[in-house]
Amino acid sequence: MDGAEALDATQEECMSSSLDAHLGSECGSDPIGRQVADTIRQLCAASIKLRNTIISGGVEARSGGGDTNAGGDVQKPLDIVADQMFLDAAKASAIAVYGSEEQDAAVMIDPAAPLALAIDPLDGSSNIDTNVSIGTIFSLLPVGEEHRSDPTSALLQPGNRQLAAGFFIYGPQLLLVLSVGKGTRVFLFSPSFGGFVEHIGSVAIPEETSEFATNAANYRHWDPQIRSYIDDCLAGEEGPRERNFNMRWIASMVADCYRIFVRGGIFLYLGDGRKGYTEGRLRLVYEANPVAFCVEQAGGAATDGSSRILDIVPRDLHARTPLVFGSKHEVDRVARYVADPSALTDRSPLFGKRSLFRT
């Protein structure tokens, strides 16, 4: 096979495993399925524009400072740019209402359209200055007849009603982690191909893990049950878990999440004793729900510490939630600690009282 033939073969392989082919086969031929697929294509186009803005290092990509959004976070210039890019994508799609972290209230687009889009346009934007991976998290929900009088109510459905969800990662590569309810796949943007091609055909999060992701600096603010769980992990081979754990924390949820998809692990961002943190800091509608949807479709689990994330009915667009997700058996174990750590038969009384963070 000469060089030209090899190139043609590579292009044919990309075509057969491309995102477009996947959407065509998995979203179905019914009108809603086609509109979900078309919306994902529009989001992909916006993600490429945003990626180009990020790598250009222009004024839009500087971190700077600005107003606070509805969640109380300081908006960076790139947050606002990203929000406008994805709002434009929503306007080019079959979207009735657009709910964004960067908007105080939902934006009405087309009340007769069949879909609602909830989105965090730029997750991890506090990491822009440090050149750490950042991302976009999105959720697509159906707009039923019961929502027609108030389409914004479609954004307040439990996550188990999502039609599709995923997130883009802007890092060394532009990646899309996507689920349309039939497993979770990873797609890679290929500039030579001009689109997204399949990178991981079927993500399977290992049920067991020896790695956790959390911000240990907040240890003193956590509930005793969570401190006990972390203490037991850090006790290593000599502790009740009888194995060594590693800790990883990037502080960009899309990056932490992707690592867990690739090699397993557990992510913990629960509520704590600080003012404004009692219900956690992550947003249920456009952060926790889409991540949980993808995690479950990859064989993992996602809870608020005890209850399944996808069964929670949001109170409002910007409602916060504690979040634990990742390897199923470890997520289940955290739930047992939250319920009653003393009931764990493999925890000795010694380790029930001991803390590795206190003398």
Task: Tell me if 323 sits within 8 A of 282, measured CB to CB.
Answer: yes
The pLDDT value recorded for residue 56 is 87
The residue whose two tokens read 């949807």 is 293
Which residues belong to the active site? 73, 79, 101-102, 120, 122-123, 287
Q: Could you give the CA distance from residue 238 to residue 358 in angstroms, rounded to a whole number?
A: 18
Query: Of all helices (H) and strands (E), which one includes residue 234?
Result: helix 224-234
Nearest alpha carbon to residue 62 among 106, 137, 125, 124? 125
Residue list, annotated binding site for substrate: 123-126, 215
- Residue-wise pLDDT for 128-149, tens only, equals 888 899 999 999 999 999 999 9
The pLDDT value recorded for residue 128 is 82
Task: Tell me if 174 sits within 8 A of 189, measured CB to CB.
Answer: yes
Residue list, annotated binding site for Mg(2+): 101, 120, 122-123, 287
Give residue 119's identity as a one-letter amino acid code. I
Task: Tell me if 129 sits within 8 A of 150, measured CB to CB.
Answer: no
322, with CB counted inside 10 A (0-12, 13-18, 19+), is buried
The pLDDT value recorded for residue 355 is 53
The pLDDT value recorded for residue 125 is 83
- Specify the pTM: 0.90
Domains of the chain: 3-200 (3.30.540.10), 211-353 (3.40.190.80)
Q: Give me the average pLDDT of each 10-residue run along the chain (359 residues).
A: 47 64 92 97 97 78 57 79 97 98 96 97 88 96 95 97 98 97 97 94 96 96 95 96 96 96 97 92 97 98 98 97 98 94 56 46
Residue list, annotated binding site: 101, 120, 122-126, 215, 287
DSSP 8-state assignment for residue 102: T
Q: Could you give the CA distance from residue 40 to residue 60 in angstroms, rounded to a whole number?
A: 24
**Helices H / strands E in the chain, number of each:** 9, 15
